[in-house]
Amino acid sequence: MIRVNDNFQELPSVYLFTQISRILSKYKEEKGVLPLIRMDIGDIPGPLPKSVARAMKEAVDQLSKPESFKGYGPEQGYSFLREVIAQKDYRERNLPIDSSEIFISDGAKCDLGNLGDILSQDSVIGVMDPSYPAYIDDNVIDGRAGSLIDGRYNRVNYFKCVAEKNFSPELPQSKVDIIYLCSPNNPTGTVMSHQELEKWVDYAKKNNSLIIFDSAYEAYIRTPGLPKSIYEIAGAKEVAIEVRSFSKTGGFTGVRCGYTIVPKEIVGYYKDGTPVTLNALWSRRQTTKFNGASYVAQCGAAALYTENGRREVKEMTDQYLENALELRKMFEESGWKVFGAMDSPYVWAENPYGLSSTETFQKLLETCGVSTTPGSGFGREGEGFIRLTGFNSRENTQLAISRFLKGFKEL
């Protein structure tokens, strides 16, 4: 008998986005319906920035010649990429991150899941409600979440995020060991201020907790003064790991590349009290279970830091922000309460007619041929909301807006 990981039985039977994909596949098979415009899943329409494509082609050329071929690279990532990240994303912003604290990966989703390998299974985790579903699901698989009772895991601490407080998470009443924070948050599109993050760093210090800070969407922050990195908060290097992705900044959803900062200051302890830095543990984990991100992908990622690459990232993110802002404006003018879009590609809109998230999702699909994501799929506090993304062409965004304006009359 092959015994399997029992924790999988505690997962919801299907992942939220898989469930939506099934409904949408059925919709597409129906006759006489409007051609579908997808505003649900957070994938980007592409293409890759030109500087990235060029760098990747050059990398393939190098690999094609015996004198410049590269086999296995360093598990932590090539130093050319780690150095440029340390310099441009951190030191130029007066954040003292060393390249040895940067670990290149094949994307943020993998790192977020894999980080569980270096943390005790007994740890109590806490997540923002609503938030990106992977944080909880990863911990369900690792056995930290407990059992699902009435839609909530009994060992997970849910940090309530409500509209009245701009979806900023409430501090927990009890001790949480591993805190997941995401800013700009997926799905609400809201960004935590310095003051709000300071509260969390302070909590983590007082409670010996670890913060896993997901800043996959930092490149969308435009409002001056909002923090892009948790390390802008004094003392955060002792308590926080930062996870980043090139997916939505450089169009890498298919290429796959991201990075995680594990500062050397963070110390953890074995059961017998022996201290160990999380940096050393993560390095050990990566060298054991990972053979490094693709050389081609890393050359592409490095190109994002060139002058042309930076300009292209700005242009691309500007376009998605513009789409999101137009959607936001349309929803607001139609009487919906809307969040996000200012510093995030996500639009988070509350149905003003009292329909639930899934009812709104169904109605908008049937009447407008536009797919959204039901907010309740991101947590209980997301009920009544839907999430839309600006990751679309200009034309599709405008078409969706005109269909919404007609369709809203039927809601």
Where do contacts with ligand PLP occur on this chain (CB under 6 A)? 42, 107-109, 132, 182, 186, 214, 216, 245, 247, 253, 258
Measured distance CA(366)–CA(374) in Å, rounded: 14
Distances (CA, A) of 124 to 153, 154, 155, 158, 174: 11, 10, 7, 11, 10
- Closest CB to ligand PLP among residues 76, 215: 215
In the chain the first and final C-alpha atoms are separated, in Å, by: 53
Tell me how far, at minimum, the Cβ of 173 lies from ligand PLP, in Å.
25
Per the listing, tokens 């051609």 go with 35
Tell me how far, at minimum, the Cβ of 110 lies from ligand PLP, in Å.
6
Tell me how far, at minimum, the Cβ of 108 lies from ligand PLP, in Å.
4
Structural contact between residues 218 and 191, judged by C-beta atoms closer than 8 angstroms: no
Question: What is the dihedral sign for C-alpha 248, 250, 253, 259?
Answer: negative
- CB under 8 Å to 236, separation ≥6 — which residues? 197, 201, 211, 213, 230
Tokens at 227, concatenated:
């923090």
**Beta partners for residue 207, in sequence order:** none
Tell me how far, at minimum, the Cβ of 2 lies from ligand PLP, in Å.
29
- Closest CB to ligand PLP among residues 382, 407: 382
Structural contact between residues 216 and 185, judged by C-beta atoms closer than 8 angstroms: no
- CB under 8 Å to 407, separation ≥6 — which residues? 363, 364, 367, 368, 370
Tell me how far, at minimum, the Cβ of 245 lies from ligand PLP, in Å.
3
- Closest CB to ligand PLP among residues 16, 370: 16
Produce one character per residue of 65-85: b if its CB has 16 or more CB atoms within 10 Å, e if not: eeeeeeeebebbbbeebbbbb
- Closest CB to ligand PLP among residues 107, 116: 107
Tell me how far, at minimum, the Cβ of 122 lies from ligand PLP, in Å.
25
- Closest CB to ligand PLP among residues 237, 387: 387
Measured distance CA(253)–CA(316) in Å, rounded: 14
Tell me how far, at minimum, the Cβ of 9 lies from ligand PLP, in Å.
25
Structural contact between residues 327 and 189, judged by C-beta atoms closer than 8 angstroms: no
Tell me how far, at minimum, the Cβ of 246 lies from ligand PLP, in Å.
7
Tell me how far, at minimum, the Cβ of 335 lies from ligand PLP, in Å.
28
Phi and psi at 318, nearest 5°, equal -60, -40
Tell me how far, at minimum, the Cβ of 271 lies from ligand PLP, in Å.
31
Tell me how far, at minimum, the Cβ of 345 lies from ligand PLP, in Å.
10
- Closest CB to ligand PLP among residues 218, 399: 218
- CB under 8 Å to 329, separation ≥6 — which residues? none
Which of helix, strand or coil describes residue 311? helix
- Closest CB to ligand PLP among residues 107, 374: 107
- Closest CB to ligand PLP among residues 111, 368: 111
- Closest CB to ligand PLP among residues 309, 345: 345
Nearest Cα neighbor of 139 from 149, 160, 153 is 153
- Closest CB to ligand PLP among residues 213, 331: 213
- Closest CB to ligand PLP among residues 371, 408: 371
Nearest Cα neighbor of 44 from 308, 321, 311, 374 is 321
Sequence-distant contacts of 57-65: CB under 8 A, at least 24 apart: 58/299, 59/295, 59/296, 59/299, 59/300, 60/296, 63/295, 63/296
